[in-house]
C-alpha cells in the first residue's frame, strides 16, 4: 500500500488538473455563448455605442473568442485569476477577503453536525426498533426533506425577530465580522448543520447496524464486555470510516453551496460574492470563485481517499 | 406482456386446507407490501390532495377573483403598505405587493411538481442509458463515461447551475421552465448513472447473461431483453427519491432568483421575494415553506416505501440519499 501511494497521488493530481481545466473551460464557454452584457453594466443605461465599444476593447472583449481563451488559459497557468470587470480589483484579492467567512461557516457547522449526527446515529442504532429509534428516524426524514433556506428563514424568524422583540439579542448581521463573531455565526452554523445532521444520523445509524451484526461484535458480547464498551469500542470505530469519508467530501463541497445560508444571514462570503457577480456579468470573478471552490472539492476527495486507505488496510488504491 | 407467453389460468392446486396457493408476480407482491405500508399510503393521500390543490389553481384564482400576477394595493396592503394577514378577502393573506398568497401558492406548487417530476424522469432516463452503456460496454467507453460522471459530481453544482440559469436567462415562462428542468437534470444524471453502472457491472457476470450470449444474442438484445428488466426496481427507487431532490433544487434556484422567471410564482421564489417582508408577515414564510416541506417529505416517504416494497430484505438498511 505505502509503495503505491506516491504514484497514486501523482495520478490523482494529474486527474485533478484535468478536472480544473475542464471546469474552467466549461464556465468560460458558458459565459461566452450568452454573456450578460457587461459593458452595459459598467457604462450604465445611457452610455453611447462608442463608449460601450471602448469598454469592450479595454476589457479585451473585442478580440476573437479563441484569442480571449488563449489569454485566459495563459493567465491561469501563471496563477493569475485576472481583475474584476466591475471594480478592477484582482480576483485573488476579492476571494482572499471573502474566503475566511465561508470557511468559518463551513468549519463551525461541520463540527456541530458531525458531533450531533454521530451521537444521534449511535443512540439510534443502539436502541434499534424502539420508540427512540423511530423518533430519530422521523427527525431524519424531516431533516432530509427540508429545503436549506426554509430552515435558515425559520431560524431567522424565530431567533432574530420574535426573540429580539422580547429582548433576547442572539443575532448580529452585516460587517465587520470581527465584532460579535459568535453572535453572527451561531444561527448560520445551526441552519447549515441542521441539514447535514439528518444525513449523518442516517449514515451513522446504517453503518452501526451493519457493524453490530458482525461476528466479532457477538464475540465481544459473549466475552461479557459491558454493552457500552461493545457499542463504542467495537461498534463505533469501524462504523466511523464511511462517516469520516462523507464528512471530508461534504466539507469540500459545502464551500460552494453556502450561497443560500450566506444570503439569508447576510454573511459576506464567497457565495455572496459570486451571486452578486453573476448578476453583473463579472466573468473573471465567477470563474475565479468556481475554480477556487472546485479546488476545495478535489482536495477534500483526495485527502479522503488517501486517509481511507491509511485507516482501513483492506482498501486498495487503484 | 400478454402477447408473449400465455400460460393460461394458473393451475389450481388442490390442497387439504381451505385455500389454494396462487402464484403471484413479483410486482404484485411488491404492490401488496406497499399497500400495507401505512406511512407510504398516507403520503400518497397527502400528495394527491396537494396535487389537486395545485391542478385546481385557476379555480382558486376564479373563486377569489385574484389572478396570480395581479396586485391589490387597496385590499391587500394596509395603510402603512404592509401586507394583510389571512382573512375573508385573502384566505392565506397577501404578499408584499398585495397579491393573493393562496392563489400564488397553488400556481407555485404546480411549478414545483412539474419541474421536480420532469427533471427527475429526465435524469433517471439519461442516467440509466449512460450507466447501462458504460457498465455493459466496459473498456474505453466505460472509462470515459465514468470519468465524465465523476467530473460532474466534482463540479460546485449550485454555483454552476446559477451561472448557467442566469446567463441563458430567457423571458418566456415555458422556456424558463424547460431551462430549469434541463439544468437540474444535468446535475442529477451522474448520481443515478453511477448506481446503474454498478448494478449493470454486477449483472454482466451472471449466468443468464452468459447463456444469452452463448445462444448468439447481440449486445443490444442482451441489454434490452436481459439487463433492463433487472434494473426496473432500482430505477423506480432512484426516480422516486430524485423527485424530492429535484424539487428542493428548483426551489433553491428560484429562491436565489435563478429559477423560473417572474411573475410566474414558484414556492422557492415566493420565499425569496418575501424574505424581506416575512418578519412582520409570518404567512409569507409559513405557507410556501410548509407546502414545500410537505411535498418533499411525502415524496421521500413514498420513495422509502417503494424501496422497502421492492426489496423486503433491505429493511432498516438506510441508504445515503441527500
| DSSP assignment of A17-52 | HHHHHHHHHHHHHHHHHS---HHHHHH-TT--HHHH
More confident residue, A92 or B154: A92
Residues of chain B contacting A26 with CB distance shorter than 8 Å: 155, 160
The CA angle B238-B210-B194, to the nearest 5 degrees, is: 25
A167, three cell numbers:
429582548
HSE value, Cβ hemisphere, 13 Å, CA-based, for B212: 18
Residue of chain A nearest B301, judged by CA positions: A141
Confidence at residue B239, expressed as pLDDT on a 0 to 100 scale: 87
**Nearest residue to A277 via CA among B187, B159, B180:** B159
Residues of chain B contacting A203 with CB distance shorter than 8 Å: 318, 320
* Residue B204: pLDDT band with limits 50, 70, 90: confident
Q: Which of B167, B289, B300 sits opposite A154 (nearest CB)?
A: B289
Confidence at residue B123, expressed as pLDDT on a 0 to 100 scale: 93
Residue of chain B nearest A19, judged by CA positions: B151
Residues 217-256 of B with CB under 8 A from A: 244, 248, 251-252, 255-256
Residues 108-167 of B with CB under 8 A from A: 151, 154-160, 162-164, 166-167
**Nearest residue to A261 via CA among A191, A206, A167:** A191
Confidence at residue B9, expressed as pLDDT on a 0 to 100 scale: 52
The mean per-residue pLDDT over the stretch B65-85 comes to 73
Residues of chain B contacting A153 with CB distance shorter than 8 Å: 271, 275, 278, 285, 289
Shortest Cα distance from B289 to chain A (angstroms)? 6
Confidence at residue B11, expressed as pLDDT on a 0 to 100 scale: 53
User: Contact A293/B251, CB-based, under 8 Å?
Assistant: no
User: Contact B293/A279, CB-based, under 8 Å?
Assistant: no
Residues 278-307 of B with CB under 8 A from A: 278-279, 282, 285, 289, 292-293, 296-297, 299-301, 304
Q: Which residue of B156, B268, B271 is the best one to mutate when testing the A interface, meaning the one whose CB has the most A CBs within 10 A?
A: B156
Confidence at residue B4, expressed as pLDDT on a 0 to 100 scale: 47
**Nearest residue to B284 via CA among B96, B87, B77:** B96
**Nearest residue to B263 via CA among B59, B93, B68, B57:** B68
- Residue B99, by phi and psi: left (phi above 0), alpha (psi -120 to 50) or beta? beta
Give the least confident one: A302-306, B16-20, B23-27, B290-294: B16-20
- Looking at the DSSP bridge assignments, the partners of residue B77 are B83
Confidence at residue B15, expressed as pLDDT on a 0 to 100 scale: 52
Residue of chain B nearest A208, judged by CA positions: B317
Residues A76-103, buried b or exposed e (16+ Cβ, 10 A)?
beeeebbbbbbeeebbeebbeebbebbb
Residues of chain A contacting B304 with CB distance shorter than 8 Å: 141
- Is A92 strand, coil or helix? helix
CA distances from residue B29 to A166, A265, B22, B25, B39 in whole angstroms, order as listed: 57, 50, 12, 6, 18
Shortest Cα distance from B291 to chain A (angstroms)? 11
Residues of chain A contacting B163 with CB distance shorter than 8 Å: 27, 30-31, 278, 286, 290
* Residue B113: pLDDT band with limits 50, 70, 90: very high
Confidence at residue A310, expressed as pLDDT on a 0 to 100 scale: 66
Residues of chain B contacting A154 with CB distance shorter than 8 Å: 285, 289
Q: Please name the residue ranges forming H helices in chain B.
A: 26-36, 38-55, 57-64, 73-76, 101-137, 139-154, 157-167, 173-204, 207-214, 219-221, 228-255, 267-274, 283-310
Q: Are B102 and B91 in contact (CB under 8 A)?
A: yes
Confidence at residue B315, expressed as pLDDT on a 0 to 100 scale: 44
- Mean pLDDT, chain B, rounded, equals 79
The mean per-residue pLDDT over the stretch B57-66 comes to 78
Q: In this structure, what are the phi and psi dihedrals at residue B90, rounded to the nearest 5 degrees?
A: -120, 100
Shortest Cα distance from B227 to chain A (angstroms)? 28
Q: Which of A144, A206, A294 sits opposite B156 (nearest CB)?
A: A294
**Nearest residue to B99 via CA among B262, B279, B294:** B262
**Nearest residue to B196 via CA among B229, B224, B235, B223:** B235
Confidence at residue A318, expressed as pLDDT on a 0 to 100 scale: 47
User: Contact A147/B320, CB-based, under 8 Å?
Assistant: no
The CA angle A206-A212-A218, to the nearest 5 degrees, is: 165
Q: Please return the burial class of A64, using the count of CB atoms within 10 Å of its CB with bins 0-12, 13-18 and 19+.
A: exposed
**Nearest residue to A259 via CA among A241, A242, A276, A239:** A276
User: Contact B167/A22, CB-based, under 8 Å?
Assistant: no
User: Contact A148/B252, CB-based, under 8 Å?
Assistant: yes
The mean per-residue pLDDT over the stretch A103-107 comes to 89
pLDDT, tens only, A131-164: 888 888 888 888 878 887 888 888 888 887 776 6
pLDDT, tens only, A35-71: 556 676 676 667 777 777 877 777 777 777 788 888 8
* Residue A168: pLDDT band with limits 50, 70, 90: low
In angstroms, the CA A176 to CA A268 distance is: 9
In angstroms, the CA A87 to CA A208 distance is: 52
Q: Please name the residue ranges forming H helices in chain A.
A: 5-33, 38-43, 49-58, 65-77, 91-126, 131-145, 148-155, 163-165, 181-212, 215-222, 227-229, 237-254, 259-265, 270-280, 283-311
* Residue B318: pLDDT band with limits 50, 70, 90: very low
Q: How far apart are the first and last CA of chain B?
A: 36
Residue of chain A nearest B298, judged by CA positions: A145
pLDDT at residue B19 is higher than 50: yes
pLDDT at residue A263 is higher than 80: yes
Confidence at residue B114, expressed as pLDDT on a 0 to 100 scale: 92
The mean per-residue pLDDT over the stretch B251-257 comes to 86
Q: Which of A22, A142, A153 sits opposite B289 (nearest CB)?
A: A153
Give the least confident one: A13-27, A41-55, A66-80, B193-207: A41-55
In angstroms, the CA B134 to CA B197 distance is: 6
Residue of chain A nearest B242, judged by CA positions: A145
Residue of chain A nearest B148, judged by CA positions: A19
A9, three cell numbers:
497521488
More confident residue, B118 or B167: B118
Confidence at residue A317, expressed as pLDDT on a 0 to 100 scale: 52
User: Contact A257/B304, CB-based, under 8 Å?
Assistant: no
Confidence at residue A313, expressed as pLDDT on a 0 to 100 scale: 55
Confidence at residue A1, expressed as pLDDT on a 0 to 100 scale: 46
Confidence at residue B49, expressed as pLDDT on a 0 to 100 scale: 92
More confident residue, A298 or A178: A298
User: Contact A142/B255, CB-based, under 8 Å?
Assistant: no
HSE value, Cβ hemisphere, 13 Å, CA-based, for A174: 0
Confidence at residue B76, expressed as pLDDT on a 0 to 100 scale: 67
Task: Please report the ipTM that was assigned to this predicted complex.
Answer: 0.77
Residues 6 or more apart whose CB falls under 8 angstroms from that of A254 comprise A106, A109, A110, A192, A196
* Cβ–Cβ pairs < 8 A, chains A and B: 140
The mean per-residue pLDDT over the stretch A244-268 comes to 81
Confidence at residue B120, expressed as pLDDT on a 0 to 100 scale: 92
- Residue B86, by phi and psi: left (phi above 0), alpha (psi -120 to 50) or beta? beta
A318, three cell numbers:
487503484
DSSP letters spanning B157-206: HHHHHHHHHHHT--SSHHHHHHHHHHHHHHHHHHHHHHHHHHHHHHHHTS
More confident residue, B165 or B305: B305
* Residue A271: pLDDT band with limits 50, 70, 90: confident
In angstroms, the CA A81 to CA A54 distance is: 23
Q: Which of A154, A260, A294 sits opposite B255 (nearest CB)?
A: A260
B271, three cell numbers:
420565499
- Mean pLDDT, chain A, rounded, equals 79
Q: How far apart are the first and last CA of chain A?
A: 10
- Is B94 strand, coil or helix? strand
pLDDT at residue B317 is higher than 50: no
A111, three cell numbers:
463540527
Confidence at residue B97, expressed as pLDDT on a 0 to 100 scale: 75
Q: Which of A34, A142, A150 sits opposite B168 (nearest CB)?
A: A34
Please tell me the pTM assigned to this model: 0.81
Amino acid at each position: 500500500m505505502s509503495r503505491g501511494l506516491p504514484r497514486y497521488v501523482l495520478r490523482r493530481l494529474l486527474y485533478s488538473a484535468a478536472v480544473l481545466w475542464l471546469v474552467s473551460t466549461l464556465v468560460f464557454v458558458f459565459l461566452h455563448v450568452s454573456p450578460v452584457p457587461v459593458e452595459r453594466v459598467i457604462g450604465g443605461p445611457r452610455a453611447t455605442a462608442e463608449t460601450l465599444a471602448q469598454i469592450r476593447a479595454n476589457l479585451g472583449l473585442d478580440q476573437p473568442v479563441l484569442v480571449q481563451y488563449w489569454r485566459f488559459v495563459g493567465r491561469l497557468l501563471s496563477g493569475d485569476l485576472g481583475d474584476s470587470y466591475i471594480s478592477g480589483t484582482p480576483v485573488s484579492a476579492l476571494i482572499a477577503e471573502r474566503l475566511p467567512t465561508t470557511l468559518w461557516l463551513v468549519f463551525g457547522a461541520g463540527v456541530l453536525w458531525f458531533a450531533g449526527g454521530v451521537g444521534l446515529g449511535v443512540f439510534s442504532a443502539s436502541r434499534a426498533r424502539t420508540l427512540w429509534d423511530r423518533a430519530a428516524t422521523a427527525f431524519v426524514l424531516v431533516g432530509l426533506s427540508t429545503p436549506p433556506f426554509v430552515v435558515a428563514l425559520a431560524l431567522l424568524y424565530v431567533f432574530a425577530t420574535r426573540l429580539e422583540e422580547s429582548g433576547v439579542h442572539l443575532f448580529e448581521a452585516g460587517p465587520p465580522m470581527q465584532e460579535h463573531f459568535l453572535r453572527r455565526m451561531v444561527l448560520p452554523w445551526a441552519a447549515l448543520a441542521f441539514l447535514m445532521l439528518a444525513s449523518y444520523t442516517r449514515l451513522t445509524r446504517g453503518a452501526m447496524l451493519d457493524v453490530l451484526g458482525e461476528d466479532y461484535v457477538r464475540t465481544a458480547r459473549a466475552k461479557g464486555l459491558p454493552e457500552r464498551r461493545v457499542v463504542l469500542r467495537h461498534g463505533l470505530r469501524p462504523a466511523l470510516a464511511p462517516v469520516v469519508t462523507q464528512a471530508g467530501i461534504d466539507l469540500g463541497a459545502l464551500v460552494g453551496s453556502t450561497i443560500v445560508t450566506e444570503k439569508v444571514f447576510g454573511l459576506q462570503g464567497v457565495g455572496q460574492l459570486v451571486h452578486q457577480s453573476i448578476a453583473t456579468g463579472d466573468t473573471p470573478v465567477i470563474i475565479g470563485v468556481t475554480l477556487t471552490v472546485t479546488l476545495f472539492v478535489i482536495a477534500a476527495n483526495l485527502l479522503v481517499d488517501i486517509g481511507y486507505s491509511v485507516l482501513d488496510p483492506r482498501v486498495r488504491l487503484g | 406482456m400478454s402477447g408473449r407467453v400465455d400460460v393460461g389460468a394458473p393451475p389450481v392446486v388442490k390442497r387439504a386446507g381451505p385455500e389454494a396457493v396462487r402464484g403471484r408476480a413479483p410486482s404484485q407482491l411488491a404492490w401488496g407490501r406497499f399497500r400495507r405500508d401505512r406511512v407510504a399510503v398516507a403520503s400518497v393521500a397527502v400528495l394527491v390532495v396537494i396535487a389537486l390543490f395545485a391542478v385546481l389553481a385557476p379555480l382558486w384564482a376564479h373563486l377569489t377573483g385574484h389572478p396570480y400576477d395581479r396586485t391589490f394595493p387597496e385590499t391587500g396592503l394596509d395603510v402603512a403598505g404592509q401586507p394583510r394577514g389571512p382573512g375573508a378577502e385573502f384566505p392565506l393573506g397577501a404578499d408584499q405587493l398585495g397579491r393573493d398568497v393562496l392563489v400564488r401558492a397553488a400556481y407555485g406548487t404546480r411549478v414545483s411538481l412539474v419541474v421536480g417530476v420532469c427533471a427527475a424522469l429526465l435524469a433517471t432516463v439519461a442516467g440509466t442509458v449512460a450507466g447501462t452503456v458504460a457498465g455493459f460496454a466496459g473498456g474505453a467507453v466505460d472509462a470515459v463515461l465514468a470519468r465524465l460522471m465523476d467530473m460532474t459530481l466534482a463540479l460546485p453544482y449550485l454555483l454552476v447551475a446559477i451561472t448557467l440559469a442566469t446567463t441563458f436567462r430567457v423571458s418566456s415562462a415555458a422556456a424558463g421552465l424547460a431551462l430549469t428542468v434541463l439544468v437540474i437534470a444535468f446535475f442529477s444524471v451522474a448520481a443515478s448513472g453511477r448506481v446503474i453502472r454498478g448494478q449493470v457491472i454486477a449483472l454482466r457476470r451472471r449466468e443468464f447473461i452468459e447463456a444469452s450470449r452463448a445462444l448468439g444474442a447481440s449486445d443490444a438484445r442482451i441489454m434490452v431483453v436481459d439487463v433492463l428488466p433487472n434494473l426496473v426496481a432500482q430505477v423506480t427507487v432512484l426516480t422516486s427519491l430524485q423527485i424530492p431532490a429535484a424539487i428542493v433544487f428548483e426551489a433553491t434556484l428560484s429562491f436565489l432568483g435563478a429559477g423560473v422567471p417572474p411573475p410566474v410564482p414558484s414556492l422557492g421564489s415566493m420565499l425569496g421575494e418575501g424574505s424581506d417582508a416575512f418578519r412582520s408577515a409570518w404567512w409569507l414564510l409559513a405557507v410556501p415553506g410548509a407546502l414545500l416541506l410537505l411535498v418533499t417529505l411525502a415524496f421521500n416517504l413514498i420513495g422509502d416505501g417503494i424501496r422497502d416494497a421492492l426489496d423486503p430484505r433491505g429493511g432498516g438498511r438506510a441508504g445515503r440519499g441527500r
